[in-house]
Amino acid sequence: MEKGKFIYEGKAKQLYETNDKDLVIVHYKDDATAGNGAKKGTIHNKGIMNNEITTLIFNMLEEHGIKTHFVKKLNDRDQLCQRVKIFPLEVIVRNIIAGSMAKRLGIKEGTKINNTIFEICYKNDEYGDPLINDHHAVALGIATYDELKKIYEITAKINNLLKEKFDKIGITLVDFKIEFGKNSKGEILLADEITPDTCRLWDKETGEKLDKDRFRRDLGNIEEAYIEVVKRLTESK
């Protein structure tokens, strides 16, 4: 499958048309941003690692009945995906308190909770992806209540599958962000990526952070953390 016309450039990926109107090529870059673009840099080979990690995870999810936009990995940095119209929503799942929730509500990072927290944010760079609720999303025309219900159902399943997978490889899945889109048939599909850019992953034994917080918080050994995630996921395939 040949790369066609360039469609769009995001913070970590580029999108290209193909000769099939229902398929696109997603190209993974090494660029890293944090704080809605306030901090910019690159992580050596991140694109290669995130392409591989998303491939491994989306394949696993598909095997368990989750419909995703992923079709196949084409090479080191490119994957073939179904073309979808993305809901401008970041769906966030929290299993342990960390990050913006810890900060916003003054709760210590690492605090355990008995219930899973689902949040939605409006994908809008100008306003810093603000936290919204279902009623905002419906009022803004982002999704219907019915679509949100489906999105939460799929998200809960994904959380269970991911928690189990990461647990098996010695990693605690603290939180993560996913995105959904609709294909030309109107099916809701998991889209975007699931990588250390979009998840908080803590080593179960040492508590070491194996995710983009190493970049966000200048903790060093960023590439090594991503390499470790690829290694453990590959070994447990």
Give residues in contact with ligand C5P (CB under 6 A).
90, 92, 98-101, 129, 175-177, 198-200, 212
Beta-ladder partners of 9: 14
Residue 235 Cβ, how far from ligand C5P at the closest point, in Å?
23
* Residue closer to ligand C5P (CB basis): 1 or 102: 102
* Residue closer to ligand C5P (CB basis): 130 or 220: 130
Q: What angle do CA 166, 47, 81 make, to 5 degrees?
A: 80
* Residue closer to ligand C5P (CB basis): 175 or 228: 175
Give the residue among 25, 80, 89 at the shortest CA–CA distance from 58: 80
Q: What angle do CA 42, 88, 115 make, to 5 degrees?
A: 90
* Residue closer to ligand C5P (CB basis): 101 or 158: 101
Give the chain's radius of gyration (CA, Å).
17
Residue 19 Cβ, how far from ligand C5P at the closest point, in Å?
31
6, with CB counted inside 10 A (0-12, 13-18, 19+), is exposed
* Residue closer to ligand C5P (CB basis): 92 or 154: 92
* Residue closer to ligand C5P (CB basis): 121 or 189: 121
Residue 21 Cβ, how far from ligand C5P at the closest point, in Å?
29
Q: Is 120 within 8 Å of 133 (Cβ atoms)?
A: yes
- Residues 17 and 8: their CA atoms lie apart, in Å, by 10
- Residues 234 and 237: their CA atoms lie apart, in Å, by 5
Residue 129 Cβ, how far from ligand C5P at the closest point, in Å?
5
Residue 11 Cβ, how far from ligand C5P at the closest point, in Å?
9
CB 61: neighbour CB atoms within 10 A? 21
Residue 12 Cβ, how far from ligand C5P at the closest point, in Å?
10
| Residue whose pair of structure tokens reads 């355990």 in the numeric block | 112
Closest-by-Cβ residue to ligand C5P is 99
